[in-house]
Structure 1
């Protein structure tokens, strides 16, 4: 399933008068959406920042321009498509750093960053743009220009490849626009965005280190340990909130499609849940511990050592045991019932054991998935500000 090897094969073309290959163009076009004053950005950001607003509001130094960028990428089945993303550029900045923010779970396509919809995560891009970063936020496959495609939810390769392609397109645009970029790249994301950020970091370090000088990343509350979560969610009680269950169902549906298991939902879930999921997908509204939704036959098979292809797929998407040379911050609340804290704990331990010299874990004591967001924003700001 390492389809990004295919990406690398098709991405390189011969250069005239050069022995070095260059990457094929990803950029399709760029549409300017509007300009915003920094005071407008602060007014929008203040509710999200809460108590942090007075502390870091003074960091907004620039008015900004908002763009929608279209670019080419490939899906998990190797199909070339046009996708999109948001880009926020600071106006009048003498020199900019590039930041890519990977957004979290979005159940509604209309929340895609390139729409710049009020109350969505694109606000983070506006804020960091006003700070002085050239801030990219990919829509992901399945949103924006590529909304007709299924979204590869919580699939490492399916998220990382389009994210890197988007950064290559943004790099092209900045070169064409003669942007004074200092060639440094930063990555950030929370929840599903934290997972996408770490997956993107891993791909850049493995295959695109010559294209990007990746300085630091900040990953908040991501589900990095997929195989451990599978064990827990099959056998242990969960909080049972409907939006939590939607996410867990979505992961199973995504892997069922990408790995070509061809299993009906009744294979994984008992009735009446299976029929409802077949009809409405992850947009069902089921409360109750996730393991109480599961088909007992599947549970028995899994706990008896079966379901090898399911285990293999979840293991393939683990991001817990690998060596990274990038300054990596993991932020997670230890009372998180949506994405359990053990994800960041085991990622920190595994990456450290693998020889990562710059990984750090910040534990938000008593922090839930929602209440830890402000701490993540503050720590991210400090992390990136420490690399001026």
Structure 2
């Protein structure tokens, strides 16, 4: 998604892996669909058929990529991602599965399942949750650019489940950006779908779960770990948490940083606009965009976040900074949120306010002007106060995307060693 420092959408994951997308053989597709036992179209799901046990049920499996070990090493190396953990080639598949929307109504979502091409029959699973993206076509199950983390983790000999979240990839509806609750339900249900799909491919997931994620996905990873530990994903055992550069502290760090210079202007405008438009569907922030956004931006902002605009296109049509984007009253109110804005922030804050029963490594960079390192420091303090085994690994003077690249190989090695 992102193209570099201070580029719009630097909160996201546009991992440039290079090379054309390659489909696996048609015979393999037939095998997958036979093993999954389902190929119904998402539109066939009716609200009155929803049951809790339907969550995570596999709808379809589509092979999307094959990479041998040499290709993985070359492509990751071109992105300055460490390749020493690479042991295998990989095969990747788009899964469509049943889940629920933010209101608990039945819907479908898509995600990427990546398996090592070789290695053992029984595999541990890595959950990798992606960062901010406005264009649904950038999601891992449909975009080659978003697959580097999946390829690396799978190349170490583990299965990898990378959910697109709701409304991205080939899932229906708008994306409820930064709605932690629905990101977690979509991620939990992706774990269930991955288990079924792996079985259809002749592999077995052994239940051990390692959780990572970058940027928005770092926040989702913390919340997902909490859900798994609480028993929301039966059959999976949380083994370790390794989120990277997540906005864990919305009220204390991330929102204040958008007005005091710690977040660069372009990223601040992009993230805050996206958050307000998406969260307004769930919380009563405004009745008309002009209550929040200045003109001419009020007349276009909701249309820009329709899931079909690239980040650069969005930023070109919005204000140069947050102060010029927002009405004076709303801008002043950012310092002391009230009403629907306060509801939205509180609902999606506090993802570190629990005690993981597994080791936690937080990765962040000092040079990050998208998600300042203060988020990770606040998370570390909160976890430590609760008695968690937590370490913050400062990646140095790297920018946001740089932190994501720098953390991948160390996380892969840590997970590969059982994350003790």
Q: TM-score, normalised by structure 2?
A: 0.78
Matched, 1:60 2:86: yes
CA offsets 1:301-334 (integer angstroms, 9 cap, x no match) = 555x562332132022111322221222111112
When residues 342 and 29 of structure 1 are mapped into structure 2, their CA distance, relative to the original with a 3 A threshold, is same
- Structure 1 residues not aligned, in runs of 5+: 1-8, 13-22
- Distance in 1, Cα, partners of 2:269 & 2:334: 19
Matched residues in 1 for 2:397 and 2:214: separation? 17
Q: Residues 369, 234 of structure 1: CA spacing in aligned structure 2 closer, same or farther, 3 A cutoff?
A: closer
Matched, 1:310 2:341: yes
Q: Does 1:107 align with 2:139?
A: no
1:71 matched to 2:77? The reply is no
Please tell me whether the aligned partners of residues 56 and 190 of structure 2 are also in contact (alpha carbons under 8 angstroms). Answer: no
Q: Deviations over 1:333-355 (max 9, x none)?
A: 12211111111111111121123
> For 2:160 and 2:331, how far apart are their aligned partners in 1?
44
Structure 1 outlier segments of 4+, above 6 Å? none
Select which of 195, 208, 222 maps to 1:184.
208
- Mind listing any 5+ residue stretches in structure 2 that lack a counterpart? 1-49, 306-310
CA-to-partner distance for each residue in 1:150-187, whole Å, 9 max, x for gaps? 11211210211101001011112233444143321111
When residues 254 and 344 of structure 1 are mapped into structure 2, their CA distance, relative to the original with a 3 A threshold, is same
Structure with the larger helix share? 1
CA RMSD of aligned residues (A): 2.4
Displacement, 1:196? 1.7
Take 2:402 and 2:258, find their aligned partners in 1: how far apart are those partners? 27
Larger RCO of the pair (alpha carbons < 8 Å, separation 6+)? 2
Aligned pairs, number: 360
Matches within 5 A, 1:1-388: 10-12=51-53, 26-50=57-81, 52-53=82-83, 56=84, 59-94=85-120, 95-117=122-144, 120-146=145-171, 148-208=172-232, 210-229=234-253, 231-233=255-257, 235-281=259-305, 283-285=314-316, 286=318, 288-301=320-333, 303=335, 307-318=338-349, 319-356=351-388, 358-387=389-418
CA distance in 1, matches of 2:133, 2:231: 28
SS at match of 1:35: strand
Report the alpha carbon displacement of residue 34 of structure 1 after superposing the two structures with TM: 4.3
Paired with 1:39 and 1:230, the residues of 2 have a C-alpha distance of 40
* CA deviation map 1:167-218 (0-9, x unaligned): 0111122334441433211111111121221121122122326421110121
Aligned counterparts of 1:83 and 1:296: Cα–Cα separation in 2: 38
Contact 1:49 1:374 (C-alpha < 8 Å) held by counterparts: yes
Query: For 1:114, what is the secondary structure of its paired residue?
Result: coil
- Provide the C-alpha distance between the structure 1 equivalents of 2:229 and 2:167, rounded to a whole number of angstroms: 25
Shift of 1:386: 2.7
Q: CA distance change for structure 1 residues 342 and 207 in 2, over 3 Å: closer, same or farther?
A: same
* Aligned-partner Cα distance in 1 for 2:289–2:345: 17
